[in-house]
Chain A
C-alpha cells in the first residue's frame, strides 16, 4: 500500500521534472518562434509583450527574404552540406573498406593516422589550413568551405566498424563469381552497411550545416555566405528588428528539427559511435 502510493508520487514527480526540463529545452525556441510571428505593431519586449502573438503573421519571414538573399544562403548551405554528405559517405566508405577488409603493408600506419587525426582540433590548424586553401585558390569559394570537412577521421572509423561487422562469407561468394574488388565493394559490401552510411550522412550534414568558424574565415563576399554566416550578418548589420532576426533563425533551425525528429534513432546511434567529437 505504502509502496504503491510512494511509486505514484515518484511517477508524478518524475513527470513534473520532465515537464520542467521540456520548458528549459524548448522554451527558448518557442519564444523565438512566437516572436517571429508577431506583427510590426505588437510590442515584443518590455512589460507589454505577451507570450502569444495577437495578430499572427508571416510578414517577418517575407522580410527576411527582402533584407538578405536568404534563398541564396540556404542554397549555399545545402550545396556544402550535401557535398559533404557525398564525400564523407563515398570516400569514408572506400577508406573504411580498405582498412577493414584488405590486408596490406602500411595498414597499421594508415589506421593510426586516421585515429590520430581525431586528436587534432581544427582550431589548432585553422590558420595553416587557411593558407593552404588560399594557395589552392579556394578562398571565398564553396569548395573551400567543403574541403576541411570533406572526409573526417570519424566517418572513416564509423565505416570501418560497419565493414568489420560483415561476415566474410558475403564477399567470398563474390570472389568465386570473379567479381573485381570495386564491384565487390559497390555491389555487395556497400549495400550491407546502410546503417553506418546513414549515420555518417546525418552527422556530415549536421556538421556542415551548423559550422560557423571555418565559413567565417574562408568566405569573404556576402554572395557566397552560408546560412549561419548570413544569419550573423543579418542580426549585426541589417536590422534591429528582432521579429525578422527571429524569423531568420527559425528558417535555419526548423527544417533541422523536423529532420531530427524523423531520424532520431540515427542521431542517437551516431553519438554512441562517434562520442569522440568534442
Chain B
C-alpha cells in the first residue's frame, strides 16, 4: 500500500542482521560443531564424537569449577531475591528525600566490576579496613585472609556480587511495588497489622512473580560469574586456582596460547544448558507480566 519495494525492510534490518550473524548466530553454530571435534588454536579439528563430553565427565577441574559456580548461585540468588526486596520496601514509601536514597543505592550498579573489585580488594586485604575494624571490635584476634584463602575468597566475591546487585534488583522490585494498590496497604495499616505481618501477608504474595523473575535473572548472572573472581584474586583464582568458576575455566582452557577450542566449546555447551532453563523461564515470566499489566 505504501508502494514499498519488497527489500526495503531488509535494508533497514541489514546492519543489525549482519552483526547478529557474525558475532552471535555463526559463533553459536560454530561452538556447537566444535564441541564434537579436537580443534586447538594451532591445528586439529577432526570430529571425535562424544570424546569431549566423556572427558568432561572425568575432568576434576571441570567438576571443581562447576561446584564453585553452583555454590555461588546457591548463596547469591536467595540473597539477591530477599535483600533488594527489603531495600525496595524501604524506599517505596514517598517520604522526603527518598529519590536521593534510591539513586544512592543504585550507584554501585553503575560502577564497573573492575572498579568495585579493586575497591573491595583494598578494603578486604589482610591489613585492610574490614580486618582493622573487626580487630578493633575484638571480633577477631588475627586478620582473616579474605583474599588469600580460596573459600574466603569465594565468599568475598559473593558479597561483592550481592552488594553490587542490590540496587539493580531494587529497581525491578520498585516497578512491581508501584503496582501494589496503595489502599490495600493503607487498609492493612488501619487494621493495625504490624509492618512485619503486612510485609509477609500482603507485599510478598503480591510481588511473588517478580521474586521469581529476580531469582532467574540473578541465577543467570551468577552462573556466568567471572570478573569478581579474576579481579579480587589478581587473575589467579586464589591459591592453586581453587576458586575458579565455570567461565574462568572455559576461558583458561579455550583461550590460552594453544587453547583447546574443541574441549572449551563442549564446556561452553554445558554452561549454555545450565543457563537456558533460567533464560526461558525469565522470558516466559516477562511476557506473562507484560500481559497482565496491559
Contacts and interface: CB of A to CB of B under 8 A. Distances in A.
Interface string B76-91: 0000000000010011
A114 B21 CA distance: 11
Interface of B: 2, 4, 6, 8-10, 12-13, 15-17, 19-20, 22-28, 30-31, 34, 87, 90-91, 93, 95, 98-99, 101-108, 110-116, 118-123, 125, 127-129, 132, 136, 163, 166-168, 171-172, 174-175, 195, 213, 217-218, 220-221, 223-224, 226-227, 230-231, 234-235, 247, 250-251, 254-255, 259, 261, 264-265, 268-269, 271-272, 275-276, 279-280, 282-283, 286
A228 B275 contact: no
A183 to B, nearest CB: 12
Interface string A230-261: 01100110000010011011001100110011
Name A's interface SS.
helix
Contacts of B27: 125, 128-129, 131-132
Contacts of A151: 15-16, 19-20
Interface in A115-161: 115, 117-121, 123-133, 136, 147-148, 150-151, 153, 156
Contacts of A236: 234-235
Contacts of B175: 271-272
Contacts of B10: 98, 104
Nearest to B87: A21
Contacts of A276: 217, 282-283, 286
A44 to B, nearest CB: 9
Interface of A: 10-11, 14-15, 17-18, 21-22, 24-26, 28-29, 31-32, 35, 45-47, 49, 87, 90-92, 94-95, 97-99, 102, 104, 107, 110, 113-115, 117-121, 123-133, 136, 147-148, 150-151, 153, 156, 175, 181, 185, 206, 209-213, 216-217, 228-229, 231-232, 235-236, 242, 245-246, 248-249, 252-253, 256-257, 260-261, 264, 267-268, 271-272, 275-278
B28 A128 contact: yes
Contacts of A110: 13, 17
Contact of A18 (B2, B17, B91, B235): B91
Contacts of B226: 123, 213
Name B's interface SS.
helix
Contact of A131 (B30, B136, B220): B30
A216 B55 CA distance: 28
B110 A256 contact: yes
A212 B286 CA distance: 28
Q: Which of A31, A117, A120, A242 has the most CB of B within 10 A?
A: A120
A119 B278 CA distance: 9
Contacts of A11: 95
Given A127-B31, A132-B22, A272-B171, A22 B101 contact: yes
Given A28-B123, A156-B16, 5 more contacts: A121-B220, A127-B254, A128-B27, A253-B110, A268-B102
A117 B20 contact: yes
Nearest to A161: B290
A149 B34 CA distance: 23
Given A46-B127, A271-B168, A261 B103 contact: yes
Nearest to B289: A275
**Which 6 A-B pairs rank lowest in CB-CB distance, beginning with the nearest?**
A210-B112, A128-B27, A119-B279, A278-B220, A95-B16, A98-B12
Contacts of A92: 16
Contacts of A115: 283
10 contacts: A28-B120, A45-B129, A47-B136, A102-B9, A114-B20, A175-B2, A245-B122, A252-B112, A264-B102, A278-B275
